[in-house]
Amino acid sequence: MKRMHLHVSVDDLNVSIGFYNSLFGAEPSVLKSDYAKWMLDDPLVNFAISKRGAKAGLDHIGIQVENDTELSEIKERLEKADLSLLTQEGATCCYAKSDKHWVQDPSGIAWETYRTLESAPTFNDSPEHIDSATACCAPATEKIQFISRKAKTC
């Protein structure tokens, strides 16, 4: 089973948590000082918010899978479409360790396909991300674009 993942940067985490608790009729399954996540079954979505210095709004979209087979199937489809991927194995992001592949849609929105391996005690492994303008661990648009250009020249 696959689950849609949406990550939104917010201006005020506590106010936003109150809003989404009311909207979803549920409390977050993960709650940190800078992050909250709801793993909802109705609608089937992994919805996360964070306050980490990024401009408020959509940070990235993703598809969370349950096993390696599902992750491989998506990767193969993207590669068959000649889309460039940025692969990260065992990456720590959003208080979880995951294997993932990043791709950018034609409008420049970062898409993450990933399988969560385990929870993590920190937001990420990289201290420079703590006060960065990136709400999550999505690669910079420039990095994905560079990879896309590089792959097309090979």
Residue 95's region, left for phi above 0, alpha for psi from -120 to 50, else beta, is: left
Q: Cβ(51)–Cβ(10) under 8 Å?
A: yes
On whether the CB atoms of residues 75 and 85 are closer than 8 A, the answer is yes
Look at the pTM and tell me if it is higher than 0.85.
Answer: no
3-class SS at 64? strand
For residue range 100-149, what is the model confidence (pLDDT) as tens digits?
Answer: 999 888 778 889 999 999 998 888 876 544 444 444 677 765 555 434 43
- The domains of the chain are located at 3-153
Question: Could you tell me where the beta strands, DSSP code E, fall in the chain?
Answer: 3-9, 30-32, 35-41, 44-50, 57-65, 86-93, 96-104, 110-119
Q: How confident is the model over 42-61, as pLDDT tens digits?
A: 889 999 999 987 789 998 99
Is domain 3-153 in CATH 1.10.3720.10, yes or no? no
